[in-house]
């Protein structure tokens, strides 16, 4: 049971989440996480969808982690169908932190191939965190369809996700290095290098892959090559 003082504190914290001042919102999320209250779960999830400040979003995630997964996971799964991209990405981020594999079926192909790079990147991280044993290959097959996508940060996120899946990705990367798309070939070759040598930097791997792809293209154009 909650007493009058606890009710007052919870209501004050919830009002703080709507403040124009990010420091007030940060303290409000901290207060809610410090004294978890099931009545705060919905407002926390709703605030995640619209919160513009990164530090506050991280505190909102922490506050949700302080509540029972039986309360938070269904709410977060529902957010994965939201129209707002931040709602989807933040829900995925929080689910990956909770680590409850009951959320795995909600990490759909649609999310893994979402048109928004931030949603897709967060879905890749969440999927790697939640994939059940024995389903790594199926996940790797979907992730491999995204090779060559986006700019550096997006490609780095995908490479990290593929490397984390280990051996199941090897034949997929081998196949991708023969893709007619030079972007896909370059990204696959760089990911292969990271898989063999996790200490290799991504930028160095991309540069080496770029040279390999360029030499391969010249060889294809040279009838003597």
Domain ranges of the chain: 25-98, 136-225
Do 157 and 121 touch, CB atoms closer than 8 A?
A: yes
Q: How many CB atoms lie within 10 A of CB 70?
A: 10
Q: Return mean pLDDT, the chain.
A: 89
For the chain, count helices (H), then strands (E): 13, 0
| Residue numbers of the chain with a pLDDT score lower than 50 | 1, 3-4, 217-225
- For 168-220, write each residue's pLDDT tens digit: 999 999 999 999 999 999 999 999 999 988 776 666 656 665 665 555 543 44
Say what the pLDDT of residue 212 is: 59
């Amino acid at each position: 049971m909650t007493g009058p003082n606890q009710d007052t504190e919870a209501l004050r914290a919830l009002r703080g989440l709507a403040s124009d001042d990010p420091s007030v919102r940060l303290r409000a999320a901290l207060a809610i996480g410090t004294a978890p209250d099931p009545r705060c779960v919905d407002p926390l999830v709703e605030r995640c969808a619209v919160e513009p400040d990164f530090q506050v979003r991280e505190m909102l995630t922490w506050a949700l982690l302080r509540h029972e997964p039986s309360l938070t996971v269904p709410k977060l799964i529902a957010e994965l169908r939201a129209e707002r991209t931040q709602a989807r990405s933040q829900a995925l981020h929080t689910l990956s932190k909770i680590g409850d594999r009951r959320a795995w079926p909600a990490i759909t192909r649609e999310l893994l191939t979402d048109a928004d790079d931030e949603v897709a990147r967060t879905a890749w991280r969440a999927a790697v965190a939640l994939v059940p044993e024995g389903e790594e290959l199926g996940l790797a097959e979907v992730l491999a369809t995204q090779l060559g996508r986006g700019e550096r940060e997006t490609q780095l996120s995908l490479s990290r996700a593929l490397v984390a899946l280990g051996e199941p990705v090897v034949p997929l990367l081998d196949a991708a290095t023969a893709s007619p798309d030079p972007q896909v070939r370059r990204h696959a070759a760089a990911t292969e290098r990271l898989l063999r040598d996790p200490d290799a930097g991504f930028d160095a791997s991309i540069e080496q892959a770029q040279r390999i792809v360029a030499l391969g293209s010249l060889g294809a154009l040279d009838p003597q090559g």
